[in-house]
Structure 1
Amino acid sequence: MTETEIRTGAGDNVVLSSMKTMAYDLLERFSGRRQALVGAALTRIALGAVGLYYYLRDYLHRSFLWGPEGVWPWENFTGSHNGGFSVYSLSRSETWFQLAFHAGAVIALLFMLGWKTRAMTVLHYIFLWSLQQRNPLLLDGGDNATVIALVFFVFIDSGSRISLDARLRRRKQVKSDAGSMRYRVGSLLHHAGLLAVILQVCTIYLVSGMYKVQGERWQNGTALYYVLRVGEFGWPGVNHLIYEHATLVVAMTYATVFFQLAFSFLLLKRSLRPFAVTCGILLHLGIAIFMSGLITFSLTMIALELLIMGDGHYRRLAAKVQKVVGKRGSLEPATNAV
Structure 2
Amino acid sequence: MTSAASAVRAALPRLLTTLAPYQAAVVRIGTAGTWGAYLLREWPNRRVLYGDRSAWSAELNGRLLSETHAFTALSWSDGRWWFEAVYLLALLSALALALGWRTRASAVLFALTVLSLQNRNVFLGDGGDNLVHLMAIYLVFTRCGTVWSLDARRRARRPGRHPFEWGEPRALADALAAMLHNCAMLVIAVQVVLVYATAGWYKVQGARWQDGTAVFYPLKLEYFTPWPELSGLLGGSLLVTFVLTYGTVVMQVGFPFSLAARRLKNVLLAVMVCEHLAIAVLLGLPFFSLAMVSADAVFLPTAFLVGAQERLAERWARSTAGRRERREQEPVGGSADGPDD
- Give me the whole-angstrom Cα distance separating, in 1, the residues matched to 2:141 and 2:59: 36
1:174 aligns with 2:160: yes
Quote how far apart the aligned CAs of 1:18 are. 2.5
Residue 146 of structure 2: aligned partner: 160
Identify the match of residue 259 of structure 2 among 267, 270, 276. Answer: 267
Give the conservation status (yes or no) of the 8 Å contact 2:255–2:265.
no
Q: Does the residue aligned with 2:280 lie in a helix, a strand or coil?
A: helix
Distance across 2 between alignment mates of 1:321 and 1:108: 24
Query: What's the offset of the Cα at 1:248?
Result: 1.1
User: When the two structures are aligned, how many residues end up with a matched partner?
Assistant: 309
After TM superposition, give the deviation of residue 139 of structure 1 in Å.
1.0
Q: CA deviation at 1:192?
A: 0.6
> What's the counterpart of residue 39 of structure 2?
55
Aligned to 2:98: 112
2:7 aligned with 1:26:
no
Deviation at 1:320, TM superposition (A): 7.3
Distance in 1, Cα, partners of 2:76 & 2:39 = 19
1:45 shift after superposition? 0.6
CA distance 1:178–1:54, change in 2 (3 Å):
farther
Q: Which residue of 1 aligns with 2:238?
A: 246
What is the aligned partner in structure 2 of residue 335 from structure 1? none
Residue 40 of structure 1 is aligned with which of 12, 19, 24? 24
Moved more, 255-264 or 129-138: 129-138
| 3-state secondary structure, aligned to 1:228 | coil
Question: Which residue of structure 1 lines up, in the alignment, with residue 280 of structure 2?
Answer: 288
Give the deviation of 1:312 after TM superposition: 2.7
1:301 has 2:292 as partner: yes
The alpha-carbon distance between structure 1 residues 29 and 82, as it changes in their structure 2 partners (threshold 3 A), is closer
Which amino acid counterpart does residue 266 of structure 1 have in structure 2?
S
Deviates more, 1:59-68 or 1:179-188: 179-188
Per the TM alignment, residue 74 of structure 1 is displaced from its structure 2 partner at its CA by: 2.5
CA deviations 1:260-317 (Å, max 9, x no partner) are: 001111122333332232122112112111111x322211110011121242332245
Post-superposition offset of 1:168: 1.1
The 3-state SS of whatever aligns with 1:136 is coil
User: What is the deviation of 1:49?
Assistant: 0.7
Distance in 1, matches of 2:135 and 2:208, equals: 32
Provide the rounded CA distance (Å) in 2 between the counterparts of 1:317 and 1:167.
18
CA distance in 2 between partners of 1:140 and 1:73 (Å): 21
2:326 paired residue number:
none
Is residue 89 of structure 2 the alignment partner of residue 98 of structure 1?
no
Report what 2:217 is aligned to: 226
Structure 2 match to 1:315? 306
Q: Which moved more, 1:165-174 or 1:255-264?
A: 165-174
- 1:119 and 1:206, CA in 2 relative to 1: closer, same or farther beyond 3 A? same
Q: Contact 1:274/1:313 (CA < 8 Å) preserved in 2?
A: no
- C-alpha change, 1:23 and 1:213, in structure 2 (3 Å) is same
Judged with a 3 Å threshold, the aligned counterparts in structure 2 of structure 1 residues 82 and 185 are, in CA distance, closer, same or farther, namely: closer
How many Å apart are 1:88 and its aligned residue?
Answer: 1.3
Match of 1:11 in 2: none
AA aligned opposite 1:257: V
Residue in 2 that maps onto 1:139 = 125
Give 1:44 shift.
0.4
Determine the structure 1 residue equivalent to 2:196: 205
Q: Which moved more, 1:61-70 or 1:94-103?
A: 61-70
Does the 8 Å contact 1:206/1:264 carry over to 2? Answer: yes
| TM-score for the superposition, normalised by structure 1 | 0.84
Change (3 A) 1:136 1:324: same
Per-residue CA deviation, residues 153-188 of structure 1 (Å, 9 max, x unaligned), is: 122110001111111111212234269322221221
Cα deviation for residue 197 of structure 1 reads 0.4
Q: Quick one: structure 1 residues 178 and 156, their matched pair in 2 at CA, closer, same or farther if it must change by over 3 Å?
A: farther
- In 2, Cα distance between equivalents of 1:210 and 1:244: 27
**1:110 CA drift (Å):** 0.7
Deviates most, 106-115 or 235-244: 235-244
Give, in angstroms, the shift of residue 191 of structure 1.
1.1
* Aligned-CA RMSD value: 2.4
One-letter amino acid matched to 2:38: Y
- Structure 1 residue matching 2:123: 3-state secondary structure: helix
Change (3 A) 1:230 1:136: farther
What is the CA–CA distance in structure 2 between the aligned matches of 1:73 and 1:183, rounded to whole Å? 45
Gap regions ≥5 residues in structure 2: 166-170, 318-341
User: Is 1:214 aligned to residue 205 of structure 2?
Assistant: yes
1:126 matched to 2:112: yes
- Find the aligned partners of 2:156 and 2:312 in 1 and give their Cα distance: 25
* TM-score, normalised via structure 2 length: 0.83
